Amino acid sequence: MSNPGQPTISPGATGDVVRRLQRGLRRTPDLELKVDGIFGWQTESAVKAFQKGESLAPDGVVGPLTWQVLPDGGLMPLLAEGSTGDVVADLQTILTNGAPGQWGLGSQGVDGDFGPHTRASVEAFQNWGDVSEDGVVGDQTWAVSLHAMSATLESAVGLNFVIG
């Protein structure tokens, strides 16, 4: 199960479990769905469409069967200055090559080290993606749509970095 131990939820639910559901649905991919922690009509509609596509009863209730087939809704890692590793290198690759000229500033190399140049590139990307410009790659930044690529930053970087 890609989302083990999750409770059954339905419209009206709120909180982290709903964010996990919404992140999982965005990874189907449903790029229009907002990760806001509120199980409203848009989330219900996305759940029903997903359930129908998986040959489940499209009732809008997310129970064990829906959780089992839903992509992992765990968080992507939080990246900031000082972060290192493969996920940073993949982020730098997207920021450098993903859409040359779109956000106006590449990370100036792919070395797996989140330094000042990567921070500046992230800030330019955040400005372009119309999210808070803080130089930290968190939930909002991972969810930015890359438009022409029909992907989000997190799907382009690779969901193998999800923290379950």
Q: What is the per-residue pLDDT across 80-90, written as a single tens digit (0 to 9) for each? A: 999 999 999 99
CA distance 139 to 126: 12
Give pLDDT, residue 146: 82
Q: Do domains 16-69 and 86-161 have the same CATH topology?
A: yes
This prediction has a pTM of 0.79
Give pLDDT, residue 67: 96
DSSP H helical segments within the chain, as ranges? 16-26, 41-53, 64-69, 86-97, 116-129, 139-142, 153-157
Q: Does the pLDDT value for residue 12 go beyond 90?
A: yes
Q: pLDDT tens digits, residue range 54-108?
A: 999 999 999 999 999 999 998 899 999 999 999 999 999 888 886 656 776 666 7
Residue-range domain boundaries for the chain: 16-69, 86-161
- Residue 34: Cβ within 10 Å count: 12
Band the pLDDT of 149: cuts 50, 70, 90: low
Give pLDDT, residue 50: 96
Percent of the chain scoring above 70 in pLDDT: 92
Q: In CATH, what number does 86-161 get?
A: 1.10.101
CA distance 13 to 139: 20
Give pLDDT, residue 58: 97
Q: Does the pLDDT value for residue 164 go beyond 70?
A: no
Give pLDDT, residue 156: 84
CB 43 within 8 A of CB 22: yes
Which residue would you say has higher pLDDT here, 49 or 75?
A: 49
Q: What CATH topology corresponds to 16-69? A: Muramoyl-pentapeptide Carboxypeptidase; domain 1 (1.10.101)
Give pLDDT, residue 98: 67
The pair of three-digit structure tokens given for residue 143, joined into one six-digit string: 């969810």
